[in-house]
Amino acid sequence: MLSLRGVRKSYGGTPALRPVDVELAAGELVVLTGPSGSGKSTLLMIAGGWETPDGGEVVPHPPLPDLPVERMSWQDLGFVPQSISLFEELTLADNLALARGSAGGGELLEALELGHLAERRPGEVSRGEQQRAAVARALVASPALVIADEPTSHQDHRRAQLVLGLLRAAADRGAAVLIASHDPAVVSRADREIRLGAGAVTRG
C-alpha cells in the first residue's frame, strides 16, 4: 500500500528525518515512535504527499492524487493532523459530510461519544472532542490509507481506547493505517512499531 525507502528531509541544513524505510501493507496498523523532534510528523507529511523528501523514494499504491492538503480527497486518504484542522465554520456533522461527499457518519460520531455534539461547530466543543471528530472525518469515507498524527494526544484512557478501536477496525477491514504516537496504548494495538532515532545527526 505504501513504501518509503531511504526517505530523508532537512530544513535549512538541519536534519529533520534521517533516512528511514517504511513498508505498510493493506490491513496493517503500524505505529511510528521516537523522541520529540525525531521526525515522526515529517515522515507522515512525506507519506501523505504533502512534503517532498530530499532523497529516497515514496510509492503509494494506488498513487495518491497530487493535491494540496486542504484539497485532498478523503476517499483516497484519511488524515488526522496533529493540529486537528476541522473547518471552523462547519458543524461536526458537516465536517464529516464534506469528507464523505454526502450526509452520514452519524454512527461514527456516536461511537466516539460525539452524537449529541453533531450540530456544534469545532469552537463549541473541547479539544479532545475536536480530535475525536477529526478521527471520525478521517474514517468516514472508508479510505484505503489512514495517516494519524498523535490521534490520542487529547484523550483520556477510555476515549483513547474508542479512537484506537476504530483505527484498529479500519485496519482489520483492509485499510493501511500509519500512526505517529508516544502513547503506549497505541503501541499495544499496533501490528508493528517503527522507532525513529534522535533527529540530530552526529557529524565527524
CB of 175 to ligand ATP, least distance (A): 22
48 binds ligand ATP (CB under 6 A): no
- Sign of the CA dihedral 158, 116, 76, 154? negative
Residue 41 contacts ligand ATP per CB under 6 A: yes
Position 130 contacts ligand ATP (CB under 6 A): no
Whether omega for the bond prior to residue 62 falls within 30 degrees of 0, making it cis, is yes
- What is the footprint of ligand ATP within residues 143-202 (CB under 6 A)? 180, 199
Q: Is residue 37 within the footprint of ligand ATP (CB under 6 A)?
A: yes
Alpha-carbon distances, residue 114 vs 61, 93, 125, 134, 159 (angstroms) = 33, 10, 10, 11, 11
Cell of 151: 490521534
6: left (phi over 0), alpha (psi -120 to 50) or beta: left
Q: How many residues make contact with ligand ATP (CB under 6 A)?
A: 12
Q: Which of 28, 39, 176, 194 binds ligand ATP (CB under 6 A)?
A: 39
Among the listed residues 42, 91, 131, 152, the single contact to ligand ATP using CB under 6 A: 42
Does position 16 interact with ligand ATP (CB under 6 A)? The reply is yes
Q: Residue 46: which residues within 8 A CB-CB, separation 6 or more?
A: 4, 7, 9, 17, 52, 53, 58
**CB under 6 A: which stretch of 35-43, 60-68, 69-77, 98-106 binds ligand ATP?**
35-43
Q: Which of 4, 24, 30, 38 binds ligand ATP (CB under 6 A)?
A: 38
Burial class (CB in 10 A: 0-12, 13-18, 19+), 123: exposed
Determine if 36 is a binding residue for ligand ATP (CB under 6 A): yes
Judged by CB, which is closer to ligand ATP: 20, or 180? 180
Please choose, out of 36-44, 73-81, 125-133, 138-146, the segment that lies near ligand ATP by the rule CB under 6 A. 36-44
CB distance 153 to 183 below 8 Å: yes
C-alpha cell at 109: 460520531
Residues of this chain that bind ligand ATP (CB under 6 A): 11, 16, 34, 36-42, 180, 199
